[in-house]
Structure 1
Amino acid sequence: MKPQDIIAGKTSLWIFGYGSLVWRPDFKYRSSEVGYINGYKRRFWHGDNFHRGNDELPGRVVTLIEDDDESTWGVAFEVTGSQVEEALRYLNVRETACGGYITKMVEFVPENKSQPPVQALVYIATSDNTLYLGPASPEEIGAQIAVCRGKTGHNLEYLLRLAEFMRTSCPHVEDHHLFSIEGAALAVVSYMLAAQ
């Protein structure tokens, strides 16, 4: 489904971010809410040969994997008026052209219980994408992240910023996948620094 088909005639749209969007949306928005979506788990199973890696050493970034028993925390951004088209034009380059993500509409549940759930646009990289890397152990993923960098910066920065977001904005949520990879990547970096 193309974003322009989803927003035909809409003057307002929510966009859910669960990776780098949580700290760097880079588009104008009216408001934002921390919250979650159900039925998906966040995994570092997608390759990145542009933002956080290159063709020789692809980085690893997050995508969503369907799982009825899981939920994924992040940030939803409300864009209105001209912001809708501007945000989608930007994200179509950042997430679709350079990242290989497709779009879906999901129900976003704000942490603030006074706010009702809303339908939100989300970008998901699927297993049929050429950049998709699939599962690996936290140690393998952490080692890969520790050494990769792309046009946006180090893959490690991406990992650490996401972990920092979860600790500061969602301290009650235990993201075992994320935190185990963070620990593995930092262990590799410590080893590399000690070996210098």
Structure 2
Amino acid sequence: MKPQDIIAGKSSLWIFGYGSLVWKPDFKYTRSEVGYVKGYKRRFWHGDNFHRGNNELPGRVVTLIEDDDACTWGVAFKVTGAQVEEALKYLNVREMVRGGYVAKLVDFYADGESRSPVQALLYIATVDNPLYLGPASPEEIGTRIAVSRGKTGHNLEYLLRLAEFMRKSCPHRGGTSVDGPVARTQSH
């Protein structure tokens, strides 16, 4: 489904980021909130042949995998008015055209808030996506991250920035899905 179809007629929108969007949204927004979505786990199962890799050696970036018992922490950005169209135009290229992700609406729960969840747009890679790499051992994932580089930079930078976000913004979460790959890349 196209993001424009999901948000037709809305004057504001929340966009949930769980990968590089947490530190580099690159669109204007009204406010941001750290929080989580339920029913998904973050995994380095998606290939990136533009930002963090190339056609010969795609980098590994995160996507969300459905899991009823899981939740994934990230940042939701509220866009309003003209920001909605600007953000969607930018994200459609970044996430859908270059990244091969699809858009979905999910419930977002702000950290420490007792209010009801809000609907947020997120982008995920599906198994039928040609860039979808799927599961691999922690060693394989760590090795690929350690050696891949794309137009935006080294794949290792992506991993370390995501780990830094988790440590600073979600320290109460303990071990995360990024801890294993961080440990594996330190031997390279």
Q: Normalising by structure 2, what TM-score?
A: 0.98
**Is the aligned partner of 1:79 residue 2:79?**
yes
Distance (Å, rounded) in 2 between the aligned partners of 1:7 and 1:54: 33
Give 1:41's aligned residue: 41
Q: Is the 1:138–1:177 Cα contact (8 Å) retained in structure 2? A: no
Based on CA coordinates, which of the two structures has the bigger radius of gyration? 1
Q: Helix, strand or coil: the match of 1:128? A: coil
Q: State the match for 2:164 in structure 1.
A: 164
- Long gaps (5+) in structure 1: 189-196
* Structure 2 gaps, min length 5: none
Hey, what's the Cα distance between the residues in 2 that align with 1:122 and 1:139? Answer: 28
Aligned to 1:185: 185
Matched residue SS, 1:47: strand
Shift of residue 65, structure 1, vs aligned partner: 0.2
Alignment RMSD (CA, Å)? 0.9
Superposed displacement of residue 115, structure 1: 4.4
CA distance in 2, matches of 1:8, 1:179: 39
Q: Percent identity?
A: 74
Aligned length: 188
Task: List per-residue Cα deviations over 1:65-116 (Å, max 9, x = no partner).
Answer: 0000100000000000000000000000000000000000000000031543
SS of the equivalent of 2:62 reads: strand
* Residue 144 (str. 1) matches residue 149 (str. 2): no
Per the TM alignment, residue 117 of structure 1 is displaced from its structure 2 partner at its CA by 1.2
Distance in 1 (CA, whole Å) between partners of 2:175 and 2:74 is 12
Tell me which residue corresponds to 2:99: 99
Instruction: Measure, in 2, the Cα distance between the counterparts of 1:86 and 1:114.
Output: 30
Give TM-score, length-normalised by structure 1: 0.94
Opposite residue 167 of structure 1, the aligned amino acid is R
Moved over 3 A (4+): none
